[in-house]
Amino acid sequence: MTVHSDRVNSGVGNARDDETLRTLMAAYQRGDLDAFDRLYAALEREVRGFLRARCRDPQRVDDLLQETFLQIHRSRRSYLPGLPVRPWVYAIAKRVFLMHLRTVKRRESRETTELSMAQEPEVPAASGRVADRSTLVSALRQVPPDSRRAFLLHHWQGLSFHEIAARLGIAPSAAKLRSSRAANRLRRLLDADERDKK
Amino acid sequence: MTEPDGETKRRVREMVARDLKPVRPLLRPGRRALLVAPVAAAAVGYAVFGYGHRDFDRLGLFAGWGVSALQWIAGLLLLGAALRHAVPGRDLSRRSITATVSGAIGLVVLVTVVTYAIEPSEVPPGVAFTFWWECVKWPMALAAPILLVASLLAMRALPAQPGVVGALCGLAAGVLADSGWRLACDVSAPGHVLGAHGVAILLLAGVGAVVGVFVDAVRR
């Protein structure tokens, strides 16, 4: 089989695949749950790949995948019958991702503001080396948002890992891991800063 | 740490199964734009017959009703483009949006020039501001119901750029309302038409963008 005929066959395959998706989408709009299952099975992998290419945290990818399919469900009437299904699905996945980005940025800026507005705790003279506030805020900004959130909830607000897990919708072990990663990253950043000053 | 395979699917399926019911797909953008046509026609009708109209004998049939009909159709086409841009996966390219907006503005300028060439009339002395305010206020009031219906139709489709879609709806509502208002306003001087009618159209685009973002935020 030549490369050309491979391409042609693959094109035919895609067209057939798209035809199947259109049929499934029409059945889903008529209220067929089985059609939804088949759509999910057909699209889950590629939508996950699409999200994974934009977001490194696997836990977050699961959340975004769930939100994408729920958004697909909520706006299923906006799919226009007869048109290709994939561009519609990807546009929704992209929108879900952009909304997520916006939320993360808003949360980040709120946490940073809260941290810089908070009263500075009194530190005993013998407590050794303490980073100043601006250094700490600047270092915290460099910690990935998910880890920073778990770290602040634990060390700043004093929540247990079970409480953090419940609040963020993740496993307690994941909360602990994120907080610990943030602490390690902070330590490295502050050490580097200390060395620079010397 | 990822979830076990199928966990996300199970949760999504549960939620979908809970409220799965048949839905009627949205109409095509062109057909949805036609749903706005009666409101737009009523706005034009009110401007001409409710508010009062200029001297049609001097303007002539083509430069009066003919040009307004063309502008009205262009407004509906613009609305169709806005409604298309609202549908996920059917969004227009940046170039197409620029061309559409430029076309709409160019059309208003062309209509202004043609009207002035056929029947030149200036703003009477001493009432420039009164005329200006009247010609900003009325097109905006006439366009308000068009913009409302258009925005609701557009936002049902989950637009990726609600602000852009809203601005296009506002622009379309402005062009549609102005197609009637140009028959009600006695002045055809380009300074007045572009400075008042044109400003009203641009303001409507801005209001549309704000409405789009607001409706989208409430909907979410």
The complex's ipTM works out to: 0.78
* Contact residues for B215 (Cβ-Cβ < 8 A; gap 6+): B151, B152, B155, B162, B166
Please measure the distance between the N-terminal and C-terminal CA atoms of chain B and give it in whole angstroms: 29
Q: Which has the higher per-residue pLDDT, B219 or A176? A: A176
Using pLDDT thresholds of 50, 70 and 90, give the confidence band for residue B206: very high
Residues B160, A68, A30: CA angle, nearest 5 degrees: 95
Residues of B in contact with A65 (CB under 8 A): 8
Q: What mean pLDDT is reported for chain B? A: 91
The more confidently predicted of residues A32 and B218 is: A32
* Smallest Cα distance from A126 to chain B, Å: 40
Is residue B15 domain-resident? no
Say whether pLDDT at B154 is over 70. yes
Instruction: Find chain A residues with C-beta within 8 A of B13's C-beta.
Output: 33, 36-37, 40
Confidence (pLDDT) at B171: 97
- Tell whether A152 is within 8 A of chain B (Cβ): no
Q: Which of B67, B160, B167 is nearest to B114 (CA)?
A: B67
Find the residue in B nearest to A61 (Cα).
B2
Is residue B74 domain-resident? yes
Predicted pLDDT at B72: 96
B25 within domain boundaries? no
| Among B6, B4, B7, B42, residue whose Cα is nearest residue B179 | B42
Answer yes or no: is B26 within a domain.
no
CB contact under 8 A, B160 and A77: no
Minimal C-alpha gap between B161 and chain A (Å):
9
Residue B6, by phi and psi: left (phi above 0), alpha (psi -120 to 50) or beta? left
Asked if the C-beta of B87 comes within 8 angstroms of chain A's C-beta atoms, the answer is yes
Q: How far apart are CA B180 and CA B173, in angstroms?
A: 11
Counted domains in chain B = 1
CB of B55 less than 8 A from some CB of A: no
Segment B160-168 mean pLDDT = 94
pTM: 0.72
pLDDT given for residue A153 in this prediction = 83
- Which pairs with CB-CB distance under 8 Å and at least 24 residues apart come from A110-117? A111/A148, A111/A149, A111/A152, A112/A137, A112/A140, A112/A141, A115/A140, A115/A152, A115/A156
- Nearest Cα to Cα of residue B88 among A174, A119, A25, A16: A25
* Strand boundaries in A16-85, DSSP class E: none
What is the spatial distance between Cα A41 and Cα A28, in angstroms, rounded to a whole number? 13
Domain assignment present for B76: yes
CB B186 within 8 A of CB B52: no
Domain assignment present for residue B212? The answer is: yes
> What integer pLDDT is reported at residue B85 of this predicted model?
95
Determine the pLDDT at residue A8: 40
Is a pLDDT exceeding 90 seen at residue B168? yes
Are residues B85 and B161 in contact, defined by beta-carbon separation less than 8 angstroms? yes
Query: Range of B128's domain?
Result: 32-219
Which residue is listed with tokens 């900004």?
A141
Q: Is residue B152 part of a domain?
A: yes
| Burial class for A183, CB neighbours closer than 10 Å (0-12, 13-18, 19+) | middle
Residues of chain A with pLDDT under 50: 1-12, 126-128
B144 belongs to a structural domain: yes
Instruction: Judge whether residue B3 has pLDDT over 70.
Output: no
Query: According to the model, what pLDDT value does residue B34 have?
Result: 95
Cβ-defined contact of A80 to B2 (cutoff 8 Å): no
